Amino acid sequence: SLQMDIEQFALENLNEHKKGLLGKSVPVANMLTWTKDVITKPMIRTSDKVVKKEAPEVFKLIQTYMGDRRGKSGNSAPSTGGGGPKTPNVELEIMVKGWSIAGLRDEIYIQVCRQTTENRKDESLMKGWELMGVCLAFFPPSHKFHSYLEGFIYRHLDPSVDTEKVPVSHFAAHCQRRLERISQTGAKKGLRKPTQDEIEQAKKSIFHPSMFGNTLDDILLMQKDRYPERKLPWIQTVLSEEVLRLNGAQTEGIFRVPGDIDEVNALKVRCDEWIPPSGCPDPHIPASLLKLWYRELYEPLIPSEFYEDCVVSYQEPEKAINIVHRMPQINRLVLSYLIRFLQVFAAAENANVTKMDTNNLAMVMAPNCLRCESDDPKVMFENTRKEMAFMRILIQNLDTSFMEGVL
């Protein structure tokens, strides 16, 4: 069956662990239940020296994060906020290790599965499931371990597993969505290690899904109850309309001049609470937030599988337009809405005042729609020009009249 049993995986793949003076073998069932003890070798059999060294260390970090072990400075997991000395940041250490050492990922997941099994301490259980959700924002399990992890999560979707204080089934449902997503996209892209801010966002999204840093599908799912008829993300349309309402089309440097950062952040918080933008002192604030929204989409607005075609077709309008029409429906609509919006600014009567002609608009918006996955500076530099040219072709040639009245 698809929901393969983690016990089955354990029988086939777990290391034999010894316990006590006589070195008795630890039964498999015990190896899959919460423990206060340390482990001296990986749970999963491996010949990888790095994993052999790292696994016992990671287990200690997980125990520290869950509050089952005292941290280096004598206190357990760092609490968010509050004064007092912070422990070295264990969650960040776990994420960086899992993200950068692919061979350690299954080991981290099986350790978290273990520490959330038959765990009688509410606070610890809650932290364990939170950790699972955060890990799934940064790195996937291996193909081999995927179905076991899926099975483990699946078994916790039933509300009957919730304790009085820990909504396990809510965590599990979140983890299930994350697992599905990260299995398709792979580990967090780029060369920059996970950051504390990204971890905070991943934690927050377990109970408060954000419209920022999410997939278009998830954003539409979030607004389904409020706006069942809408085909476009509410946040995209209200911010775009606000830029125009504040006379952004006649404001010099629109999309180039950044809005006041505190105002932008405050607007971001309000939008995540579904409060329509109002009271902005100038159009640069909604314009900056709009750019941020496009840039932070979990997957680029123009999906990665079309990227190469885009940078090859940057001089051929017909091919460029064809790419847009081949994109998934939601991406096609969102991109076409953006292009229609930019075409307003590209009109001569506006560009003469804003000093933002088609070239400038393409330059500021291309990085928010296309993401170069190469880390070769030469390729990135070359492609930047092509990405801009591709956006320029769309602004000049895409017929967006079909978007009229679409919300």
Q: What is the DSSP letter of 75?
A: S
d(CA 287, CA 293): 10
Look up residue 310 and give its amino acid.
C
64 burial (CB, 10 Å; 0-12 / 13-18 / 19+) is buried
Three-state SS sequence of 327-382: CCHHHHHHHHHHHHHHHHHHCHHHHHHHCCCHHHHHHHHHHHHCCCCCCCHHHHHH
What does the pLDDT read at residue 395?
Answer: 98
Q: pLDDT tens for residues 340-373?
A: 999 999 999 999 999 999 999 999 999 999 998 8
Going residue by residue through the chain (407 aa), what tens digit of pLDDT does each one get? Answer: 444 577 778 778 888 776 655 556 666 666 789 999 999 999 999 999 999 999 999 999 999 999 999 876 544 444 444 443 344 599 999 999 999 999 999 999 999 999 999 999 999 999 999 999 999 999 999 999 999 999 999 999 999 999 999 999 999 999 998 998 888 878 887 677 888 888 988 898 898 888 998 889 989 999 998 999 999 999 999 999 999 999 999 999 999 999 998 899 889 989 988 999 988 999 999 999 999 999 989 889 999 999 999 999 989 999 999 999 999 999 999 999 999 999 999 999 999 999 999 999 999 999 999 998 887 889 999 999 999 999 999 999 999 999 998 88
Contact 107, 51 (CB under 8 A): yes
What does the pLDDT read at residue 20?
Answer: 56
Helix (H) or strand (E) holding 137: helix 122-138
Q: pLDDT tens for residues 179-224?
A: 988 888 788 876 778 888 889 888 988 988 889 988 899 899 999 9
Contact 357, 351 (CB under 8 A): yes
What does the pLDDT read at residue 72?
Answer: 66
Closest by CA position to 131, among listed 154, 98, 104, 180: 98
Domain ranges of the chain: 6-207, 234-403
Express the helix, strand and coil content of the chain in percent, nearest 5 each. Answer: 60, 0, 40
At the topology level, CATH places domain 234-403 in: Phosphatidylinositol 3-kinase; Chain A (1.10.555)
Helix ranges, 208-314 (H): 216-223, 234-245, 261-272, 284-296, 307-312
The span from the first CA to the last CA of the chain, in angstroms, equals 42
> Does 234-403 match 6-207 at the fold level?
no
d(CA 293, CA 217): 14
Contact 158, 118 (CB under 8 A): no
CATH superfamily of the domain spanning 6-207: MyTH4 domain (1.25.40.530)
CA 343 to chain centre: 30
Checking 322-327 for CB contacts under 8 A at 24+ apart, the result is 324/394, 324/398, 327/302, 327/303
Express as a percent the part of the chain with pLDDT over 90.
70
